[in-house]
A and B are shown apart, each in its own frame.
Chain A
Amino acid sequence: MTLGGLLLVVLIVAAHAVFFARVYFIIRCIRLGQGSLPAAFPLLRMKDVLVKGFGQVLVLRQPAGIGHFLIFWGFFVLTYGTLEGLIAGVFPGFSFAWMGPFYWLMNTLQDWFGLLVMGALAVALYRRFVWRPRRLQASLAHTIDALIIIVLIAVLIKAFYAMRIIEPKPGFTPVTDMLRPWFVSVTGKAAHPMGYAAFHWLHNVVVLSFLVYIPFSKHLHLITALPNLYFRDEKRIAGRIPKLDLEAEGMESFGISKITEYSRKDLLDVTACTECGRCQEACPAYFTNKPLSPKEVVLGLKAHLFEECPALLRDRTAAPKKALYPDVIEKDVLWACTTCRACEEACPVEILPMSKLIGIRQARVLMEGDFAEEAQTALRNVETQSNPWGLPQEARGAWAEALGVKTLAEDANVDYLFFVGCAGSYDQRYMQVTRAVARLLQEAGVSFGILGAEECCTGDSAKRIGNEYLAQMLAQQNVDTMNGYGVKKVVTACPHCYNTIKNEFPDYGGNYEVVHHTELLAALMQQGKLKPKQGPATVVYHDSCYLGRYNGVFDAPRAAILASGTLKELLRTRSNSFCCGAGGGRMWMEERIGGRINEERSKEIIQVKPEVVATACPFCMTMISDGLKSEHRADIPLKDVAELLAEACGIVKKDVVEGE
């Protein structure tokens, strides 16, 4: 072994030592979290990693993802050569040539990917320093971080091409071949043993610096992203908030008030962030200039984790330097979230920023009773009268009398329980939707009943504000009532009820086949039980977060609209739909910071010049209605999908408005 080889060995060992020490530290940090990483169904997890990780499916949902795809695969391809180069640095003359055709193939791919990656890097530089989309605007430190990585990779590839130009390897290498004459013309000759050695060293040193730099930088995701996909928490996915055990023995703290109270998966989550900013771009709170950015939430938690951990690893009971709330996550950040889940949908590595905030909300509400006064009013009302307006619970089924809809107490022998929800029971406007649904179901001969005064709020708002205690009481009460009547199938006219009953009631022993009214109505149309007449109106449909993004119901409302008019899509639609601003209990809080989410959404709606706007959620209806009024476009009719269908089916308007 030469002196140079020896030096390289020392460098390799040192770089690996630093790298693994840092990785070990990070693993220990993550292990400070609660529980263990979810690991059931390893085959499904492997599939996830293959499709979403190696297939880059989530990354490729945006055009910029192409660049990432190239760099991602370029990394693997070029690592082949890197490895060869490193070994050759220690044992001169070493090569993978014995691999034969594979060697030829890999050399070919390296030549091509070198160029592609360079191209991707150029685009990355252009986006960060010239174009600067909002989601990539970050602090100087983060920008420098990105720059360092881009430069390191660029230097690496330049060194690679220089080496290949000087010492060609077997393969179809058009890029190297094209560069060679230029190189020769500049340097005057083709053979440069010293030059080769210099580039070889440069390449190896840069590779090793890169190795050291990765786990200290945002490129930590190279290490954590794939495990994060593998360990996805199926209990939390799609916005489900698992039931907290409030009666656990010796439990004194509920929700998240310290970083170590997060689960290990939550902590792995925050280490997997690459600061791509897709979550921030999708966030309605950020879009309306509120202090919340899901990206900053995750980065804040990551920085906090690494800052607190050294002390905590020495002593699990060490007092934190900073309080998770309000030092790391401020009040206005915490409460700005509408729980629309756009951030979680947007994340290419399935980080769940919204869920992190819910945990802190739970601690604020359960441990401190600290949340917006207006929302306290709503929850107190829910406690006494089971609806957020504090209207008499007894009057809950009053809308149904004129339509001859029976309660399960009167007749439990029905196919469907129509779970009406608070808005559908009390809000004069939404009661028209309730009646339209009921009339359509009657028209189609569906046997259904309601719970009437026995129905309670499902606790969606309470749960998402963080009042797990109240939410559990409400859920249990509803489940007990529903199970008491032997309910099997449920149709709801509210996506929030829908989501809670479908995804969270099973935690309380409530297992039902749950459909949203648009799903049931679409099915009835398909079965020919409803025969709408096609109308001329151009309808724009606004997707409800809790129906669409949360539960994947995109097509049923559209099918119902298409039966009665023509459908026009918004720019942000389906899983990219933009929140109305009312979710997560925001319906019951003032929106005093920044712009108004419902007005932004209404502007988008007005832009596409609809004749009619359709919604499928009481919150959306209220918010969009207010938004259209604010934009002075109250003239645009705003209807629920069921109302459109009722009209198309010739159900007289009077039936729906007055319930007669």
Chain B
Amino acid sequence: MSVLVLLEQRGALKACAHEAAMVAGTLARAAGAPLYGVYIGKSLEEASSLAGFGMQKVFAYEHDSLGHFCGEIYTSIVNELAKELGSTVIVGSASALGKEWCASVAARLDVELVQDCLEVWWNNGLMARKPVYAGKVLAEVRVINTPAMVSMRPNVVKVERDASPAPEVEKRGMPSSTPRVVVKDVALAPAGTVELTEAKIVVSGGRGLGGPEHWPVLQALCDALGAALGASRAAVDAGWIHHSHQVGQTGKVVSPDLYIACGISGAIQHQAGMRPAKIIVGINKDPQANIFNVCDYGIVGDLFEIVPLLAEEIRKVCA
């Protein structure tokens, strides 16, 4: 019996790899099983960052051609390794690549997989909590058969380390195989741009902004939060910002975890676009504004005062 964690990298280990390692560590301790990690990439430079999770060993499959995700090779490596280690629980990340990786491994191993978990724990077996119905309902899932897999939603768990040392690194070579899927190109979006519909946090501005010259006020908050910038129809119609930023009935429907509406009255046409958001914050100087009927947390106040304060506070607290 052992726990294996898939350590996702993009050059360096991704934050979600540490999150998965921590969750896997907790499970391993609860189940009294050893924890192993698997790294596939160019070269594992920061094994020391894996200290504090109780990880005994990390198997590092290193090769220049392994830098980019290649489903076929990545999957067969984990498939072989899991069999070799007799892994009972495999933990991955529910990132865009991680979900595909986990699903492929689960199919090869013919085991169950619970994707996109918010929480996993051990209670006489593996338990997981995950959103279903697009987050409208939370499901508590018991995994009956092991081996089994879970993938953790990124940015949900807070990484905490204990005093355990960094894992031993066992370097392994690349298995010989020619993948059928060829990576032709990798394009990374310039840092700082977040696509509105996929953003985890959206900051939107409306008529209350007063004019296009004031966008930097909101942009500063976006930068502090790593958020995408949205706008109400009124702001778009006034020509203050391009239509691609429009949130609403005739614009985009966004589904972030956090939506901050600044100077937006919250008419139904706008609501239709922000409705799927998990938490809505409204900032408006008019206490009668409808946004306060449709938000979770409201601040009545001048956005030119509140927004900079908020950006500053977030930078302070989240630094």
- A428 and B290 in contact, given A389-B249, A626-B234 (Cβ under 8 angstroms): yes
Closest to B208 in A: A629
Interface status of B272 (Cβ within 8 A of chain A)? yes
Chain B residues, Cβ within 8 Å of A592: 243
- A588 and B268 in contact, given A626-B234, A630-B234 (Cβ under 8 angstroms): no
- A589 and B293 in contact, given A426-B268, A596-B237, A630-B238 (Cβ under 8 angstroms): no
Does B272 contact A589, Cβ atoms closer than 8 Å?
A: no
- A428 and B293 in contact, given A389-B268, A589-B250 (Cβ under 8 angstroms): yes
> How far is B170's CA from A632's CA once the two chains are assembled, in angstroms?
68
Does B271 contact A588, Cβ atoms closer than 8 Å?
A: no
What does the 1/0 interface line of B262-281 toward A look like (CB < 8 Å)? Answer: 00011111011001000000
Q: Shortest CB–CB separation between residue B208 and chain A, in angstroms? A: 10
Report B220-276 residues with CB < 8 Å from chain A CB.
234, 237-238, 243, 249-251, 265-269, 271-272, 275
> How far is B265's CA from A592's CA once the two chains are assembled, in angstroms?
22
Does A429 contact B249, Cβ atoms closer than 8 Å?
A: no
Chain B residues, Cβ within 8 Å of A390: 272
> How far is B239's CA from A568's CA once the two chains are assembled, in angstroms?
33
Does B267 contact A622, Cβ atoms closer than 8 Å?
A: yes
Closest to B207 in A: A629
Chain B residues, Cβ within 8 Å of A588: 249-250
> How far is B292's CA from A428's CA once the two chains are assembled, in angstroms?
11
Interface status of A590 (Cβ within 8 A of chain B)? yes
> How far is B251's CA from A185's CA once the two chains are assembled, in angstroms?
78
> How far is B275's CA from A426's CA once the two chains are assembled, in angstroms?
13
Does A622 contact B250, Cβ atoms closer than 8 Å?
A: no
What does the 1/0 interface line of A580-599 toward B look like (CB < 8 Å)? Answer: 00000000111110001000
Chain B residues, Cβ within 8 Å of A629: 207, 234, 265
Chain B residues, Cβ within 8 Å of A589: 250
Q: A-B contact count, CB below 8 Å?
A: 47
| Complex partner residue of A374 from B237, B250, B275, B290, CB under 8 angstroms | B250
Does A428 contact B294, Cβ atoms closer than 8 Å?
A: yes
Interface status of A377 (Cβ within 8 A of chain B)? yes
- A428 and B268 in contact, given A629-B234, A630-B234, A630-B238 (Cβ under 8 angstroms): yes
Chain B residues, Cβ within 8 Å of A428: 266, 268, 290, 293-294
Does A429 contact B268, Cβ atoms closer than 8 Å?
A: yes
Chain B residues, Cβ within 8 Å of A625: 267
> How far is B237's CA from A626's CA once the two chains are assembled, in angstroms?
11
What does the 1/0 interface line of B191-226 toward A look like (CB < 8 Å)? Answer: 000000000000000010000000000000000000
Does B234 contact A377, Cβ atoms closer than 8 Å?
A: no
> How far is B243's CA from A74's CA once the two chains are assembled, in angstroms?
57
> How far is B251's CA from A378's CA once the two chains are assembled, in angstroms?
11
Interface status of A388 (Cβ within 8 A of chain B)? yes
Chain A residues, Cβ within 8 Å of B268: 389, 423, 426-429, 622
Chain B residues, Cβ within 8 Å of A626: 234, 267
> How far is B249's CA from A389's CA once the two chains are assembled, in angstroms?
7
Chain A residues, Cβ within 8 Å of B249: 374, 377-378, 388-389, 588
Chain A residues, Cβ within 8 Å of B234: 626, 629-630
Does A590 contact B250, Cβ atoms closer than 8 Å?
A: yes
Does A389 contact B267, Cβ atoms closer than 8 Å?
A: no
Q: Shortest CB–CB separation between residue B7 and chain A, in angstroms? A: 40
Residue from B234, B251, B268, B294 whose CB has the most chain A CB atoms within 10 Å: B268
Chain A residues, Cβ within 8 Å of B267: 427, 429, 622, 625-626
Chain A residues, Cβ within 8 Å of B266: 428
Residue from A390, A427, A428 whose CB has the most chain B CB atoms within 10 Å: A428
> How far is B51's CA from A567's CA once the two chains are assembled, in angstroms?
78
Does A622 contact B269, Cβ atoms closer than 8 Å?
A: yes
> How far is B271's CA from A429's CA once the two chains are assembled, in angstroms?
12
What does the 1/0 interface line of A352-384 toward B look like (CB < 8 Å)? Answer: 000000000000000000000010011000000
Chain A residues, Cβ within 8 Å of B269: 622
- A389 and B272 in contact, given A378-B249, A596-B237, A629-B207 (Cβ under 8 angstroms): yes
Q: Shortest CB–CB separation between residue A597 and chain B, in angstroms? A: 12
Chain A residues, Cβ within 8 Å of B272: 389-391
- A429 and B237 in contact, given A388-B249, A590-B250, A629-B207 (Cβ under 8 angstroms): no
What does the 1/0 interface line of A244-274 toward B look like (CB < 8 Å)? Answer: 0000000000000000000000000000000
Report A608-635 residues with CB < 8 Å from chain B CB.
622, 625-626, 629-630
> How far is B268's CA from A498's CA once the two chains are assembled, in angstroms?
22
Chain B residues, Cβ within 8 Å of A596: 237
- A389 and B238 in contact, given A377-B249, A589-B250, A590-B250 (Cβ under 8 angstroms): no
> How far is B265's CA from A428's CA once the two chains are assembled, in angstroms?
11
Q: Shortest CB–CB separation between residue B284 and chain A, in angstroms? A: 12
Chain B residues, Cβ within 8 Å of A590: 243, 250
Chain A residues, Cβ within 8 Å of B275: 391
> How far is B272's CA from A388's CA once the two chains are assembled, in angstroms?
9
Residue from A591, A626, A630 whose CB has the most chain B CB atoms within 10 Å: A626
Closest to B268 in A: A427
> How far is B293's CA from A428's CA once the two chains are assembled, in angstroms?
8
> How far is B207's CA from A630's CA once the two chains are assembled, in angstroms?
8
Chain A residues, Cβ within 8 Å of B251: 374
> How far is B293's CA from A577's CA once the two chains are assembled, in angstroms?
34
> How far is B266's CA from A622's CA once the two chains are assembled, in angstroms?
12
Q: Shortest CB–CB separation between residue B297 and chain A, in angstroms? A: 18
Does B271 contact A389, Cβ atoms closer than 8 Å?
A: yes
> How far is B239's CA from A592's CA once the two chains are assembled, in angstroms?
10
Q: Shortest CB–CB separation between residue A660 and chain B, in angstroms? A: 14
What does the 1/0 interface line of A501-526 toward B look like (CB < 8 Å)? Answer: 00000000000000000000000000
Q: Shortest CB–CB separation between residue B280 and chain A, in angstroms? A: 14
Report B284-315 residues with CB < 8 Å from chain A CB.
290, 293-294
> How far is B250's CA from A589's CA once the two chains are assembled, in angstroms?
6
What does the 1/0 interface line of A433-467 toward B look like (CB < 8 Å)? Answer: 00000000000000000000000000000000000
> How far is B265's CA from A429's CA once the two chains are assembled, in angstroms?
11
- A429 and B290 in contact, given A626-B234, A630-B238 (Cβ under 8 angstroms): yes
Q: Shortest CB–CB separation between residue A289 and chain B, in angstroms? A: 15
What does the 1/0 interface line of A394-437 toward B look like (CB < 8 Å)? Answer: 00000000000000000000000000000100111100000000
> How far is B269's CA from A589's CA once the two chains are assembled, in angstroms?
11
Chain B residues, Cβ within 8 Å of A622: 267-269
Q: Shortest CB–CB separation between residue B80 and chain A, in angstroms? A: 46
> How far is B250's CA from A592's CA once the two chains are assembled, in angstroms?
12
> How far is B271's CA from A426's CA once the two chains are assembled, in angstroms?
11
Q: Shortest CB–CB separation between residue A303 and chain B, in angstroms? A: 35
Report A539-578 residues with CB < 8 Å from chain B CB.
none
Chain A residues, Cβ within 8 Å of B293: 428
Q: Shortest CB–CB separation between residue B42 and chain A, in angstroms? A: 43
> How far is B293's CA from A423's CA once the two chains are assembled, in angstroms?
16
Q: Which 4 A-B pairs have the closest CB atoms?
A: A374-B250, A427-B268, A389-B272, A428-B290
The interface of chain A, by Cβ under 8 A from chain B, is 374, 377-378, 388-391, 423, 426-429, 588-592, 596, 622, 625-626, 629-630
10 A-B pairs within 8 Å (CB atoms) are namely A388-B249, A423-B268, A428-B294, A429-B267, A588-B249, A590-B250, A626-B267, A629-B265, A630-B237, A630-B238
- Given A429-B267, A626-B267, A629-B207, 6 other A-B contacts at CB below 8 A? A377-B249, A423-B268, A426-B268, A428-B290, A596-B237, A626-B234
